[in-house]
Copies of this chain bind each other. A is one copy, B any other.
Amino acid sequence: MTSKDLLNSIREKRSFLCVGLDTDLQKIPKHLHKEDDPIFAFNQAIIDATAPSCIAFKPNLAFYESMGTFGLSAFIRTVDYIKEHYPQHLIIADAKRGDIGNTSDMYAQSFFDHGKVDAVTVSPYMGEDSVSPFLKYPDKWVILLALTSNKGSDDFQMMQSADGEYLFERVLRISQTWEHSDQLMYVVGATKAEMLKKVRAIVPDSFLLVPGVGAQGGGIEEVMANGMNDQCGLIVNSSRGIIYADSSEHFAARAADEAEKIRHKMEEGLINKGII
């Protein structure tokens, strides 16, 4: 999927929402437990309900891996389902991988050759040769962790060099010099909206994947004000606020409502910026 495809999709849906499929057997509605594959049944209902309001889906691998081979099959079925029924939606495998060159090759193969996802999140800690194997696939995306939304992001990402550069700024700057850097996006936590300006100063054109926006779209105005560029340049994720909005048999309809609320705020931002 090219950035042009992505922008078309944003314009068509009037949205830059990503629905995070952090599917946990303990949290899905009880009535689904009688299904053969409750995880896939839940995902399928959430995907069908939210697809009109979003442009991307992001299953987090941790949730699937914690269920062993059963979880892995549910992950694969989910990706196949999106590909078949919603081919214009970006599929992000949230995996936060990163290893030495030949090993990252194996991960890249898993996700892009076999997995058929469009993008994978990667940790920058090991540097260029741990990321470049993922960048070899045309029209696939690497979403590099830059500034995450959790408390621990202060521990290392906010380390400053002698000339005042933060580690997350260094990650942005250095990674932009790598081959195929036009296939890079970056994870930038929404709780650091004041940092978005610093990010945009280094990567004005890159897409940013922004996690941590609240269930009701809280904080999204600030993200749009500081992070949006004239090609949108944003993919904002919401997981629990949408997929676990309700635990009854009406969970899918409620998820659709929550996704639509966020999409509506996004539409206003896109109009204000003159993108739609």
Contact = CB atoms under 8 A, between A and B. Distances in A.
A100 B66 contact: no
Contact of A106 (B62, B101, B149, B153): B62
Interface stretch (A67-75, A215-223, A225-233, A263-271): A67-75
Interface in A100-140: 100-101, 103-104, 106-107, 109-110, 114, 123-131
Contacts of A159: 159, 161, 167, 170
B145 A66 contact: no
Contact of A114 (B63, B66, B131): B66
B96 A123 contact: yes
A58 to B, nearest CB: 12
B160 A148 contact: no
A155 interface: yes
A22 B149 CA distance: 33
A60 interface: yes
Given A151-B129, A152-B127, A106 B63 contact: yes
A157 B103 contact: no
A129 B155 CA distance: 10
Contacts of A97: 62, 96
Given A96-B97, A123-B96, A156 B129 contact: no
Nearest to A150: B100
Contacts of A157: 125-127
B126 A152 contact: yes
A72 B73 CA distance: 11
Interface in A60-103: 60, 62-63, 65-66, 68-69, 72-73, 76, 94, 96-101, 103
A162 interface: yes
A171 interface: yes
A167 B156 contact: yes
A161 B88 CA distance: 44
Interface in A145-185: 145, 148-157, 159-162, 167, 170-171, 174
22 contacts: A24-B106, A60-B99, A60-B103, A62-B104, A66-B110, A66-B114, A68-B110, A69-B69, A69-B72, A96-B99, A98-B123, A123-B125, A123-B126, A124-B155, A126-B148, A126-B150, A126-B152, A127-B151, A127-B152, A160-B161, A162-B162, A167-B167
Given A72-B72, A124-B156, A126-B145, 20 more contacts: A22-B103, A62-B99, A65-B110, A66-B106, A66-B107, A66-B114, A69-B72, A96-B97, A96-B126, A100-B149, A100-B150, A125-B145, A126-B148, A126-B150, A128-B152, A128-B155, A156-B167, A156-B170, A156-B174, A159-B167
